[in-house]
Amino acid sequence: MDSCREILNFIENIVIEVDKDYKIQYVNYSAKGLTGKSPEKLINKKCYSALFGHSEPCKGCQLQMMIENKIPTLITHDVLTHRGFRKIYSASFNKTSSGNFVEVLTDITDSKKMIDKLNHHLKELKAKNVMLNLQKRETENKRTFLEKILNSTEEGIMVIDSNLNIITSNYKVKTLTNYKEKNIDKCYKIYGYENQCSECPFKDKKLLKSSRKISDKNLTLSFNLFEDYVVESVRDTTKEVYLLDEIKKQQNDLKEKQHQMKLLNEDLLKMNAKLQEAQKVIDDELRQVGEIQSSLLPDKLPEIEGFDFGAFYTPAEQAGGDYYDCIKMSNGYYGFTVADVSGHGIPAAVIMAITRAIMRSYTYDVISSSEALAMVNEILCDNIYTTDFVTMFYLVMNSNDSKCNFASAGHNPLLFFDKSEMTVKKLTASGLFLGTFEDVEYEEGNIEIDKGDILFMYTDGLVEAMNKSGELYGYDRLISKIIMFQNFKCCDIIDNIMKDLKEFTEGRPFDDDITIFVIKKED
């Protein structure tokens, strides 16, 4: 029996034998990688406490089922090792002849990460497919819109390629020519010619205008020559020709100039209408992005006995790159973050959403703030190939003893109001911003908050807001307001600071996104 157990010390799987009271009777040497303790120190310890750090049996534990002679099923354990690394184990169970129970843990961490990464790529592909469909629909809408515009004009419009093929034409062309009565593909055939017109802009690139005669109609043609095609305007000028023949040359020249100005003005009006329509589309897309971004912020702030929380967020544009988040972990730990993506608008909003997803997916139950930032930086570097980057301040708090550790990725310092000293201290830790440099190490600081203390987290849009004279709001003014409103609730502290900021900036729009997150330990 001892030799068999000795053999088990050489396998990678963790093998545990427990009695019906969850006490460990045997565990092989592989368990040391999880707990940091030798097998001898784990004997007679509760398995769920010694191995997984739980205060009660693990969720889905199969021990009771085996006691009732039921067939056990596989379960998974999502745990942190004694070094703070996240591990995922698949657990299988068997009952021994002695009445004890054996649990075999297989490390599936890499497999799980690979599956998660594949799922992430699948979601990205689906998102890209949605975007392509939207772009296709938008292009079709624009084409339909352009056709409606062409058919609403008083002139015939044709687009002709360099091979003299008619690419498209509006209905007016068909009413002015014989186009509607014949199956015509070449532009010159519309006017009854068998070959290219003698006055053709493809022959003479300086040619802007010409005339054609069909039956009793005098048609005036205007040309806009581009690199590979011509836009030809066709007008029925039969009456105009008759009148123009009766007018002096000077008057004719004047009317021609006026006509050219009219065409130019019409083109400008059409262009302006298209630009306004495009701006409406852009504004609507930005509004939708802003709504999606707002939905990613926490629905509500944590409710922890003895603590008060407050948060505020406003983008400089319809969509921004700031965000804050509250991550509830196990065993009373909470992660609080405030981050700022470089730049503004849709690119910053997208990177913000990616960063939030990484924080929530990969740093859950990572109680070391510096390790969490290192993980996020590694993933961002693997997935973002732009010049954009993210600054972040991340604080992990144990709500059971009010002890906190924090790390900073090039972000503004935390403002800590110490009630006992009635002062505000700037707390920070060294570390480069996220998403640009790989293998970055982040310094970790520690702090314990007492009753009346305040933790004030924010983005640089607050302290760098300027008034009309170009003066910054600055730290001195902000710190004085924190001390002034120390006895208020967090939301009231934020409201009073924002009211003071608006008075300072004299109603000027903010040049940057502003985010504030406040934690106060109540007296």
Confidence check: pLDDT of 222 > 60: yes
The per-residue pLDDT for range 66-95, each reduced to its tens digit, is 888 888 988 888 888 888 888 898 888 888
Pick the CATH number of 298-521 from 3.30.56.10, 1.10.8.60, 3.60.40.10, 3.40.50.1820: 3.60.40.10
pLDDT at 292: 59
Q: How confident is the model at residue 287 (pLDDT cuts 50, 70, 90)?
A: low
Backbone angle region of 101, left / alpha / beta, with phi > 0 → left and psi within -120 to 50 → alpha = beta
Q: Which residue pairs, CB below 8 angstroms and at least 24 apart, start in 424-431?
A: 424/456, 424/479, 424/482, 424/483, 426/475, 429/370, 431/370, 431/373, 431/407
- Contact between residue 395 and residue 457 where contact means Cβ atoms under 8 Å apart: yes
Q: How confident is the model at residue 272 (pLDDT cuts 50, 70, 90)?
A: low
Of 95, 99, 103, 88, the residue nearest 27 (C-alpha): 103
Q: How confident is the model at residue 164 (pLDDT cuts 50, 70, 90)?
A: confident
- CATH homologous superfamily of domain 137-276? PAS domain (3.30.450.20)
In angstroms and rounded to an integer, the radius of gyration of the C-alpha atoms of the chain is 36
Q: For residue 7, what is the enclosing H or E element? A: helix 2-8
- 416 or 364: whose pLDDT is higher? 416
Confidence check: pLDDT of 180 > 70: no
Confidence check: pLDDT of 4 > 70: no
pLDDT at 68: 85
Give the span between the Cα atoms of 391 and 410, in whole angstroms: 5
Instruction: Map out the domains of the chain as residue ranges.
Output: 2-107, 137-276, 298-521
pLDDT at 294: 59
- 325 or 289: whose pLDDT is higher? 325
Of 472, 456, 453, the residue nearest 464 (C-alpha): 472
40-59 b/e (C-beta count within 10 Å ≥ 16 → b):
eebeebbbbebbbebeeebe
The type of residue at 216 is D
The per-residue pLDDT for range 459-513, each reduced to its tens digit, is 999 999 999 989 999 999 999 999 999 999 999 999 999 999 999 998 788 888 8
Pick the CATH number of 2-107 from 3.40.50.1820, 3.40.50.170, 3.30.499.10, 3.30.450.20: 3.30.450.20
Distances (CA, A) of 252 to 227, 241, 258, 265, 366: 31, 10, 10, 20, 84
Confidence check: pLDDT of 179 > 70: no
Confidence check: pLDDT of 327 > 90: yes
- Contact between residue 443 and residue 430 where contact means Cβ atoms under 8 Å apart: yes
Encoded tokens for 283: 């504004």
pLDDT at 113: 81
3-state per-residue secondary structure call for 126-146 = HHHHHHHHHHHHHHHHHHHHH
- Decide whether 2-107 matches 137-276 in CATH topology: yes
pLDDT at 463: 95
pLDDT at 261: 78
Q: For residue 267, what is the enclosing H or E element? A: helix 249-296
Sheet of 322-328: strands edge to edge? 322-328, 333-341, 390-398, 403-409, 445-448
